[in-house]
Every structure is written in C-alpha cells, then in structure tokens.
Amino acid sequence: MEAKILDLLPLLRRYSRSLSDNTPDAEDLLQDSLAAALASQGSWRGRNLKSWLMTIMTNQNRNRRRRVRNAPGFTNMEYADTIATENPQSDPLERDRLQAAINLLSDENRSVLMLVVVEGYSYAEVADILSIPLGTVMSRLSRARKKVADTLEGKNIVALRKPI
C-alpha cells in the first residue's frame, strides 16, 4: 500500500495545492493527509485507493482550515508564495488573480471545483468521494464557478470604506 500511495504523490500534491491558499499550507496538508491515511490503513476496505485518499485530504483540509479560522489573530503572512515566478509562460499577475479568486471560495465549493476540473473526476465520483448527493455536487460546482467568474470580473469587490 505504501508503494501505491507513493505512486499517487504527484496527484495528492496537486490536489493539496488546489485546496490551499499558499504552498506551505499545501505541504502541511499533504503531510497531515499522508499521516492520517497511514494511521487509518485498517479502514481502507479495498475501495479505490485514490478516491479514498482524496476523501481523507478533503476532510483533513476542512479540519485544518476550521482550526486556522478559529485561531485568534491568525494572519496569513506567506501569501506572496502563491505568486509563481518560475514559469515564464504564464502571466504571474493573472495566475495570482486566479489564486486569489479561488481562495475566496468556501472549502466545500472549492473541493468540488478542484475534483472536477483539476483532478478530472466525474460528478458521480465526486459525490462518492465527498459522500454528498449528486445534486449537491452540481449546486456547489455552479456556485464555485460563478463566484470565481464574478471575482475575476471584479463584480464582487466590496468597498471597505464608503467613498467620501
């Protein structure tokens, strides 16, 4: 099983990135998820290993983010890590805007969007991974897409102060 998990590491890493606001968070999430998966090997009932790991990571992410949100005075200081500069083909500003847009999604809507779009799961598979009805997959996907589109188009910019 360990070897199989190692084979899936690139996929798991990608999913952890897609759920996290920045790279250090993604690395932490990946580690937590691997530790959780290995600690609960006994509960893996021969189900599709990849889907099982995706479920674990989704749950770990929800728990982690809940903890972080509940921690008083939490300030995310490493946000600048999401500005990727290694790859000259993509516009770093565009990429940064997209990252900022998905960071605004709720955890639930975000995992559905990433499982469908980035990981390429079918809607039925996503329903299975997240243990939610198909209709809920659809409504979360729809909300996620619209929110990202609105953010990128600047529709949901909220003025913090009223103009004088």
Q: Which residues bind other proteins (CB under 8 A)?
A: 2-3, 5-6, 9-10, 13-14, 17-18, 23-24, 27, 31, 34-36, 38-39, 41, 84, 86-87, 90, 94-95, 98-99, 102, 113-114, 116-118, 122-123, 138, 141-142, 145, 148-149, 152
Residue 122 Cβ, how far from other proteins at the closest point, in Å? 6
Which structure tokens are listed for 82?
Answer: 């999401």
User: By C-beta, is 94 or 133 nearer to other proteins?
Assistant: 94
Residue 162 Cβ, how far from other proteins at the closest point, in Å? 31
Q: What is the DSSP string of 32-92?
A: HHHHHHHHTGGG--SS-HHHHHHHHHHHHHHHHHHHHHHSTT-----GGGGS--S-TTS-H
User: By C-beta, is 65 or 141 nearer to other proteins?
Assistant: 141
Closest to 60 measured CA to CA, from 95, 25, 92, 87: 25
User: By C-beta, is 65 or 119 nearer to other proteins?
Assistant: 119
Residue 143 Cβ, how far from other proteins at the closest point, in Å? 11
* Neighbour-count burial for 52-88, b at 16+ CB within 10 Å, e otherwise: bbbbbbbebbeebbeeeeeeeeeeeeeeeebeeeeee
User: By C-beta, is 65 or 102 nearer to other proteins?
Assistant: 102
Residue 85 Cβ, how far from other proteins at the closest point, in Å? 10
